Amino acid sequence: MTPTLPPPPPRYVYPGAEAAQPKQAANSLWRETASLYEDVKARRLNDLVTINVLENISGSGSADTAAGKKSSVDASMDTLFGLPINSMSFHDRFNPLSPSVKGSMTNDFKGSGSTTRAGNLVGTITAKVVEVMPNGNLALESRKEITINNEKQILVLRGMVRPDDIAIDNTILSSKVSDAQVFFVGDGIVQDKQKQGWLVRVLDTIWPF
């Protein structure tokens, strides 16, 4: 089963009622629309920008812990109300009037652990501008689905970019996407074969050892 993915962006995005009206001064020829003298960089709703996905993430960590504790106690009373304790004994091995305590405890603990994770994703996807922020930043959403022999590969990328970071050829690196959400999952026979059977998953959940 394919993991939960965000819904695809709408085919077309429409601005609000106020933003839909062209911004122009009275008796002015200038309009907030595309011009033959502008470059091809995305800057408006429904504009497209190509994202070069180049993500290489790795991390590792280790920890070692050692702790120990040892304690002992040996206490006894020789006299009680001025009388020797031995004279009050009812038995050679047991004297209820002799408050003596003796014991010892040893506690040792040692633990260690390590973790390593690495991931690499390279690809290209074209995203759509779904919102233009008041400061000019662009919110992007994109989705690409490729199906080969009933095996589907899904790449989803969402985030926000600065127009200044977009290159002159209307491309941008994924490392310059803020609040980026990248999903690359598969759905098909190959994906299903990588999963454990349902009975094994149930036993792993309820097995107490």
pLDDT tens-digit map of 13-44: 777 644 544 555 555 555 555 555 566 788 88
Cα four-point dihedral sign 193, 194, 197, 198: negative
Tokens matching residue 159? 């985030």
**Mean pLDDT value across residues 103-132:** 84
Cα four-point dihedral sign 173, 175, 181, 185: positive
What is the DSSP code (8-state) at residue 95?
Answer: -
pLDDT tens-digit map of 156-169: 999 999 999 999 99
Q: What is the pLDDT of residue 77?
A: 64
Cite the DSSP H helix spans in 45-182. Answer: none
Residues with Cβ < 8 Å from 12, sequence gap 6 or more? 46
CA pair distance 140, 172, nearest whole angstrom: 12
Say what percent of the chain tops pLDDT 70.
66
Say what percent of the chain tops pLDDT 90.
21
Q: What is the pLDDT of residue 173?
A: 92
Beta pairing partners, 36: none
CA pair distance 178, 160, nearest whole angstrom: 5
pLDDT at residue 138 above 90? yes
